[in-house]
Structure 1
């Protein structure tokens, strides 16, 4: 199974890009590469919708591909996290976000959010930023850039773990 991806880059300091792809009638599986950042993945399969927040992956692992499914992903930059959802709980896993009754939206931090599309993913990300649902720690940013963070090594370690899992 070969994937063909469409990408949309972001100007945001929190989000790298959005991607979309489709699977064919064969389905199958692929090796999901280890990744340091989190992402939101929306899947449409046989009329069903799922919204997952995926955490960092410490190793490559096989992932199933359902036949004739559509996928949309929003990949966060390293160090971006959701303050209400500890990143360390997502390492090598994910969180299924519940859908609303009409299945056109999902619940995130107590509010209903319209399911984004590839064409409006940038608007969705800006809303997440404005609502404070995704964030970056300036101390972690400084450390990632190789600058002095101005905190003790133990504080840097705690803050880095919170932001990156």
Structure 2
């Protein structure tokens, strides 16, 4: 299942988190009065997520890794609701390296309406209001760990007493991606946000640090799968995955 956190989806609610492990929490409530879109464009994303969703009465839980390319997902069938925790750069599951999750997902081998299996143990499926409590339990159990240097580096800080090669190795180990890939993805996501707000492509070039408009166009094709004009005037039967600003540095 692609990222179900969709910015155009009726019933979507999302919030940032104060947890050093959590970037954002979201939920999609059941239903919606408008006509359901025919497809969703899941844009590239440099964070990994824990996702729980119910479709046609069946609950599923999946750990989904970063996505390095966009995918178009047909929106057939009915989704009764979804919940997700987006984890910060640098946080990762000890038994499930993020590098093994890039462009893929691992589904819980057994789920019920209330529980799922992670690392061989049964856990209660968290909710929108208690996501941080669930994350704290993972930390106390030693399953969720964090390398704070990674978040600092991606925010633009220069670490002392750590070699560039060591920094690269730690970023790759904790995120599954290189620093350059994360910055390119986050820049593309920020660009998509600005274009959807109605900003002119020529202005966005300078705001986010592209060389020129052809450079922006190539980035949109690679990471978003849409042209600038398509983002400025989206199709009524299409929606994009959730876009939000992170602390990752986007300028080269």
Shift of 1:14: 0.9
Identify if the C-alpha distance between structure 1 residues 12 and 117 changes in structure 2 by more than 3 Å, giving closer, same or farther: same
Q: TM-score, normalised by structure 2?
A: 0.59
Match of 1:121 among 124, 127, 131: 131
Structure ID, larger Rg: 2
Shift of 1:160: 0.9
Q: TM-score, normalised by structure 1?
A: 0.86
Q: Number of residue pairs matched?
A: 164
Matching of residue 10 in structure 1 with residue 24 in structure 2: no
Question: 1: distance between equivalents of 2:151 and 2:125?
Answer: 29
The RMSD of aligned alpha carbons is: 2.2
Structure holding more strand per residue = 1
1:133-155 per-residue CA deviation (whole Å, 9 max, x = no partner) reads: 22221332342241225333322
**Greater shift in the superposed pair: 8-17 or 129-138:** 129-138
Is the partner of 1:120 in helix, strand or coil?
A: helix
Shift of 1:52: 0.8
Structure holding more helix per residue = 2
Question: 1: distance between equivalents of 2:79 and 2:149?
Answer: 43
Question: 2: distance between equivalents of 1:79 and 1:52?
Answer: 19
Question: 2: distance between equivalents of 1:96 and 1:64?
Answer: 20
Q: Which runs of 5+ in 1 are unaligned?
A: none
Instruction: Tell me what 1:19 maps to.
Output: 26
Matching of residue 154 in structure 1 with residue 168 in structure 2: no
Shift of 1:129: 2.2
Question: 2: distance between equivalents of 1:149 and 1:143?
Answer: 11
Is the partner of 2:27 in helix, strand or coil?
A: strand
